[in-house]
Amino acid sequence: RKEVEQDPGPFNVPEGATVAFNCTYSNSASQSFFWYRQDCRKEPKLLMSVYSSGNEDGRFTAQLNRASQYISLLIRDSKLSDSATYLCVVNLVSSGSARQLTFGSGTQLTVLP
Amino acid sequence: EPEVTQTPSHQVTQMGQEVILRCVPISNHLYFYWYRQILGQKVEFLVSFYNNEISEKSEIFDDQFSVERPDGSNFTLKIRSTKLEDSAMYFCASRTETSDYEQYFGPGTRLTVT
């Protein structure tokens, strides 16, 4: 079983649409959760951290369900500039303190005019 | 806004050659990382570095790889004898000592081994 699993898409949506991405993780002891976005051939950029209480940043809302080991990202009123690959990222517990990130394969989003 | 920087942006090398990839992490960050991403695949952890020593490393980070912080600003990844399968984007990342463990990535070095 993959450590972090995402629907690869692609998701093709019109401007203004609401789109939701889901992610599951296998290690129940995982402690920190993030959504990163990655544009083609660029570095991953932190979009938002994800907390159990849910958090919102403008048009973006992230949710975490620890019982189901499930993370979601909702994008409202999508813009052309939202077109990217969205990476679900988990910080797995390890013996060291450095806490490397474990990435999902990403979900590709294309927002169409 | 402070950024992680990496040089070179693109490195072409022949199989068997040594390469050194360079990174300058954000100045007040204490944890440093190397990740790689083979074209079309997911980002994979290679190694983490803290307090001037390797903290953790993955199975990918074998004896051909080494890391160093030669001075107060640079963080390097050396591949001793490159193989074709080392062709990938190599990303450096860094973070502070906070509870959220958010990491910030450099723009990457594209390594092409011919």
- Chain A hits for B103, CB-CB cut-off 8 Å, are 46, 101
Question: Which of A42, A45, A102 lies closest to B45 in CB terms?
Answer: A102
CB A101 within 8 A of CB A34: yes
- Cβ contacts (< 8 Å) between B55 and chain A: which residues? 96-98
| Per-residue pLDDT tens over the stretch B88-114 | 999 999 998 775 678 899 999 999 999
User: Which tens digits make up the pLDDT trace of A56-77?
Assistant: 999 999 999 999 999 999 999 9
Tens digits of pLDDT across chain B (114 residues): 789 999 999 999 999 999 999 999 998 898 999 999 999 999 999 999 998 999 999 999 999 999 999 887 899 999 999 999 999 999 999 998 775 678 899 999 999 999
Confidence of residue A98 (pLDDT cuts 50, 70, 90): low
pLDDT of residue A8: 86
The dihedral built from the CA positions of residue A21, A27, A33 and A37, taken in this order, carries a sign that is negative
Pairwise CB contact (< 8 Å): B55 & A98: yes
Rounded CA gap, B32 and B69, in Å? 10
Tell whether B106 lies on the interface with A, counting CB pairs under 8 A: yes
Q: Which residue of B has its CA nearest to A99?
A: B101
Q: Which of B42, B45, B102 sits opposite A100 (nearest CB)?
A: B45
A63's tokens: 């949710």
How many inter-chain contacts (A to B, CB under 8 Å) are there? 64
